[in-house]
Structure 1
């Protein structure tokens, strides 16, 4: 299975830190967020990676190179301006091949075992598999619901759901019919959920959306206090 790491965003909420550093290269416990993901993928035998780049793209290319120092091969999908999640994945499809592929947000940290996503190699065409986590304080309502059979459902307005972790597996056909250009992932997910084409799992372990300087600082302190370095992304 190939994997795509999303790293093209500007990181507006992380300013001023992201004025001169791409958000995925911000460090926690001495290591860039992006490197946690690359190391975790390499440990599971995922050798072909795609990283989309836009904001301060040169720094990302310079840091990661061709990926050989981690035992992987990295291809880059450049975006003149950030295309958001679905737009970025759509642009990168020629690099991702014809089989289901993993997608990881570059600005999260988690100890989720990525080997579980490799079990989705046979995901049927047009489908997606999402990892959902408990809702963080900044997103108390969550995004979706998950039934006892593993089907992802829309969250009723009066109900608390679970939060999409920025970890999932998608098939190329999931993006069929989408026009090239800037587009978030949520409209595609909502349509696929309504059609019964999205499954998922709940992961109760450690997960953090590193979206603000405060959350970055808190995660760094927590990992350093636990003696964590080079752990799964």
Structure 2
């Protein structure tokens, strides 16, 4: 089973976070989201992966290390100019000869079972299968309409409320038969959602939707990024945390020191080599990255701290994100709904 991971996007909807780190390396539970995606592939025995690169390619290569931490082979496809989702895969067509293959987002956290999707794809004799998810109101995704057999009958990329005719959305997880390359032009940008799928629908090709009931979250914007962290803390999705559970709902990484007078409220994650001072309060629903320092009487709740952050004495953070190496100054200062990416 071969997989293409889309990791070349610039992450504009996640700014200012992606000014500091490429989108696939934005931390979820103090681990790059791409790491969680690769963890899931490893659990399912995937051995061959292509990752496309564009923005800050060197950092992504350094993290992936050729796939060796996951026991797989990662091939990189560097795009000097962005090729679009379909154009990126078309560029690597020779890698996917002979059998159906998967395309996934490098920043989509899910518990998708690839074998189930592949069985569905083959049973339907599909040219292409799109994994769908029923949602309540988040229509920043492509909305898809299927018939009783799962065959796709309509598709609308990121509709407005007036256009909504279904609550099943495109997760950005696909299975394609290699024949699909006949419909993707070579050597120029081409998009799955806006171009390929509407073309296949118009030509009445065998395209199907697999309705997925498990966990899925695309961290493509700040709202969903926060939701994914909260879901992980609440146990709605299984992720590798690299920390031990000190007591129910409280995870602490190796080498962290917590003052006896500090208070940790579940659920929260304190990563490795952190320091928490006297009278400080951490949680609920907070993630503290490695080597962070929370000084005396500081309060951190519903917040995400990247690695090496310092929260000064008596500072209070609520629903905030603080970028790597950020320093929030001492004394009684309240920050609410703030994103702090530089030293204050």
Relative to the length of structure 1, the TM-score reads 0.89
Higher Rg: 2
Number of equivalenced pairs: 231
Does the residue aligned with 2:92 lie in a helix, a strand or coil?
helix
Q: Select the residue among 178, 184, 188 that pairs with 2:191.
A: 184
Give the aligned partner of residue 175 of structure 1.
Answer: 181
Q: CA deviation at 1:218?
A: 2.4
Contact 1:36/1:230 (<8 A) preserved: yes
Give the aligned partner of residue 154 of structure 2.
Answer: 154
Kindly report which structure 2 residues correspond to 1:89-108, keeping only aligned pairs within 5 A, or say none.
89-108=89-108
Does the residue aligned with 1:159 lie in a helix, a strand or coil?
coil
Q: Structure 1 pair 173/10, CA: closer, same or farther in 2 (3 Å)?
A: same
Give the aligned partner of residue 202 of structure 1.
Answer: 211
Give the aligned partner of residue 34 of structure 2.
Answer: 34
Higher relative contact order (CA 8 A, sep 6+): 1
Does the residue aligned with 1:221 lie in a helix, a strand or coil?
helix
Does the residue aligned with 1:87 lie in a helix, a strand or coil?
helix
Mean CA deviation greater in 209-218 or 47-56: 209-218
Structure 2: which 5+ runs fail to align? 157-162, 242-344
Counterpart Cα distance in 2 of 1:124 and 1:94: 25
Relative to the length of structure 2, the TM-score reads 0.62
Give the aligned partner of residue 222 of structure 2.
Answer: 213
Counterpart Cα distance in 1 of 2:225 and 2:167: 25
Q: CA deviation at 1:161?
A: 4.4
Contact 2:47/2:72 (<8 A) preserved: yes
Mean CA deviation greater in 9-18 or 22-31: 22-31
RMSD: 2.4
Kindly report which structure 2 residues correspond to 1:44-59, keeping only aligned pairs within 5 A, or say none.
44-59=44-59
Give the aligned partner of residue 61 of structure 2.
Answer: 61
Mean CA deviation greater in 212-221 or 116-125: 116-125
Contact 2:126/2:208 (<8 A) preserved: no
Name the structure where helix makes up a greater proportion of residues.
Answer: 1
Q: CA deviation at 1:228?
A: 4.0
Contact 2:50/2:74 (<8 A) preserved: yes
Q: CA deviation at 1:124?
A: 8.5
Q: CA deviation at 1:26?
A: 1.0
